[in-house]
Amino acid sequence: MTLVRRSLGLGEQIFASAFTFLVLVAASRLLSPEGLSVYTAFFSLNQSFAFFLMGLVLLPLASSTGADTERQLWASLILLVLLLAGFALVAPLAMLAFDSFDPSRWRANWALSLVFFCAHCLFETARWLSIRLRGARPVFAVTAARLLLFFGGLFLLGLNGLKGAEFVLLHSSVNGLAVLGYLLVLRPSWRRLRPDFSHFKSPRHFAIFGNSLANFATNLTVVALLERAWGGAGLAAFQALRSATNPVGLISQFIDNHFTASLARNPQKLAFGAGLITLALSSAALLLVLSLLLAPMLTAWLLGADFVQWWPVLPLMLFASLAHAMTRPVFVQWRLAGDVRMLNAYSCLVLLGVAPVIAVLGGLTTVYAMLLIFAAQPLVALLVQRFRPFLTTAAAS
């Protein structure tokens, strides 16, 4: 990657990450308590199922390599259709986990959740596909315009008095408009998306299904139990403060998307020196100390005085973002090498070890302890990587 491409890729990721953060901040400040509870319930449901989008569709798009690239891309698009159908079937059951969904309006809620999820999936797929096939330069303008369109639409509709459902529809509409922009970006590459079913069973697409399932299980458990313990306002504070760590999280997203796509196009060995690792760890420790000191003030500034009681969420979610950023290179290495064993080992440890602990702690209403375990979940990948030679030898024998 040249310096210009890296800068454009990072800038594009900043706009994409800032969108989620600013939307949640706007929702926290503009919506009524009831509307905020409804929107964050829709957002949390969408966010939980989006882990399957990431694992089955987006990451294979970014890491498809070699002569089979076109067929791998087509397989991702097929899996996208299956994912949308699966969400339509499972969403009514998943909504039962949230108190903010009115059971008497389940049909309307189901339809709105389907619109929200479909718009999100199409947006992310079109964006990642554009980056994979066309690079960051033509994608940058569309991603930046999406942010402007949302807040322009919010201003036209009125900055106050919006309901949670209206916020969801505005969010979905802007994603739909962005999809049209990405389709224009992709026009020169349509020939690379010829229908081809011969590679549909590629292990590349299913190798990280367990990883997606593990992330889905822990995320849905956390947001559902947190809403029951803290209510809709507490869930909104959690999601907003979680998104406030996006300046760190965008490093993970940049590695997953732009960096992985670049390595797929131009394979090279990943190597990290001791100096870089020391700098990363020192910076992470400094950020955590600062977050503990400044979290109450930052929470009040971002969300308002009503949300200050949940300020400890900010350093916990910063720890989670740092853990994700530190372990992304490990996951990239596994994916590009097709190392299914390591991905499966990570998934099993999370599903059988981390998820039950999270559920027990949340059930006992020890919410901050639950969030600490949730934040530390990515570090399981470092444990798996540490024992990689042993696991590889054991599997071979």
Which residue from 162, 163, 124, 121 is spatially nearest to 142, judged by alpha carbons?
124
CA dist., res. 81 & res. 71, Å (int): 16
Alpha helix (H) residue ranges in the chain:
3-30, 33-53, 59-63, 69-94, 106-134, 136-157, 164-186, 203-206, 209-244, 246-254, 260-265, 274-303, 313-337, 340-349, 355-363, 367-376, 380-386, 388-396
Task: Output the pLDDT for position 114.
Answer: 96
Task: Output the pLDDT for position 152.
Answer: 87
Task: Output the pLDDT for position 240.
Answer: 87
Q: Which long-range contacts (CB under 8 A, 24 or more apart) does 190-197 make?
A: 192/69, 192/70, 192/73, 192/133, 193/70, 193/73, 193/74, 193/77, 194/70, 194/74, 195/74, 196/70, 196/71, 196/74, 197/74, 197/78
For the record, the structure tokens of 250 come out as: 């965008």
- Asked if 232 contacts 33 with a C-beta cutoff of 8 angstroms, the reply is yes
Which residue from 48, 99, 53 is spatially nearest to 79, judged by alpha carbons?
53
- Asked if 313 contacts 321 with a C-beta cutoff of 8 angstroms, the reply is no
Which residues of the chain, if any, have pLDDT below 50? 1, 199-201, 203, 258, 263-265, 267, 270, 272-274
Verdict on whether the full-model pTM lies above 0.85: no
Domain count, the chain: 1
251-291 pLDDT tens trace? 555 555 545 555 444 545 545 444 555 665 666 677 778 88
Task: Output the pLDDT for position 55.
Answer: 81
Which residue from 237, 241, 220, 232 is spatially nearest to 362, judged by alpha carbons?
220
Task: Output the pLDDT for position 198.
Answer: 52
For the record, the structure tokens of 325 come out as: 């950023």
Task: Output the pLDDT for position 281.
Answer: 60
CA dist., res. 373 & res. 378, Å (int): 10
291-328 pLDDT tens trace? 888 889 988 888 888 889 999 999 999 888 888 878 87
CA dist., res. 75 & res. 82, Å (int): 11
344-382 pLDDT tens trace? 888 889 999 999 999 999 888 789 999 999 999 988 988
Check residue 10 and report its DSSP letter: H
**Over the range 318-355, which residues count as b (16 or more CB within 10 Å of their CB) and which as e?**
bbbbbbbbbbbbbbbebbbeebbbbbbbbbebbbeebb
Three-point CA angle 30, 36, 39, nearest 5°? 115
Q: What percentage of the chain reaches a pLDDT higher than 70?
A: 76
**Residue 206 burial by Cβ neighbours in a 10 Å radius (0-12, 13-18, 19+):** middle
- Asked if 35 contacts 164 with a C-beta cutoff of 8 angstroms, the reply is yes
Which residue from 238, 246, 211 is spatially nearest to 222, judged by alpha carbons?
238
For the record, the structure tokens of 317 come out as: 């979610």
Task: Output the pLDDT for position 291.
Answer: 80
Q: How far is CA 117 from the centre of its chain?
A: 13
Residue-number span of the structural domain to which 203 is assigned: 3-396
Residues 11, 15, 20, 25, Cα dihedral to 10°: 110
Task: Output the pLDDT for position 193.
Answer: 59
Task: Output the pLDDT for position 277.
Answer: 54
Task: Output the pLDDT for position 5.
Answer: 59
